[in-house]
Amino acid sequence: MVDKDYNLPSIKRQSALDGQIESGRFGNCKTEPGIFIEENHPLSIVQLETREPPQKDFLNVIQNLFNFDVPLAPNTSKASDKTRIIWTGPNRWLIVEPETRDLTSLIKSQIKETSFSIVDLSHARSSIGIDGFMTRDLLLKGAAIDFHPEVFLVDHCVQTTFFNLSALICCLDENRFNIFIARGFALDLWQKVQEAAEEFGYETL
């Protein structure tokens, strides 16, 4: 049980897409848009890695912090109402949640082991959310991955090339996905997703 407050600094994190997002409906929007696009901001994004396969005590600490198990199967994730843990490699995960607390300090305070590393990637990553009944068709235009709902299930994730950009794609719900990308390529990704969504009609939120 964590009884200490881990407050954020007073300086707010600036979005890589600040001033670049125009809300509204665009493209082939004769009826309901097939795609909804939004930026996920601000987020706390922390990379956690262990040198060896994680021990039971380590896994229990993370489970107690977030009230769900750490995903151990490749290319999967698990989530609560606000926090998601994404498997990104052997003994390595991203922990993502809306930025409401100092997530890095919170995790450090609870883990007593020394054979792990933790890196705050909140400034280094941007995230775009895509939703709508044509979402999987849009994803197929950008990546050579089978996004069929019977193959790419809810809570699955993949690191791949998406519109020629290195990205992490995570399925939150049947037609709802989050895409994580290096901050410097956020605008490029946003524009490519908008262009690909034009034929379906899209709304930026």
Decide: 153 and 168 in contact? Cβ < 8 Å: no
Prior bond of 42 cis (ω within 30°): yes
132: left (phi over 0), alpha (psi -120 to 50) or beta: left
Decide: 157 and 86 in contact? Cβ < 8 Å: yes
* CA atoms of 96 and 85, how far apart (whole Å): 6
Domains and CATH numbers, the chain: 33-204 (3.30.1360.120)
At residue 77, the pLDDT reads 98
CB burial of residue 5 (10 Å; 0-12, 13-18, 19+): exposed
Helices (H), the chain: 56-66, 103-110, 135-142, 186-197
At residue 147, the pLDDT reads 98
Predicted TM-score (pTM) of this structure: 0.92
For the chain, 205 residues long, give each residue's pLDDT as a single digit of tens: 444 667 776 678 899 999 999 999 999 988 899 999 999 999 999 999 988 888 888 889 999 999 999 999 999 999 998 999 999 999 999 999 999 999 999 998 888 767 789 999 999 999 999 999 999 999 999 999 999 999 999 999 999 999 999 999 999 999 999 999 999 999 999 999 999 999 999 999 9
At residue 3, the pLDDT reads 46
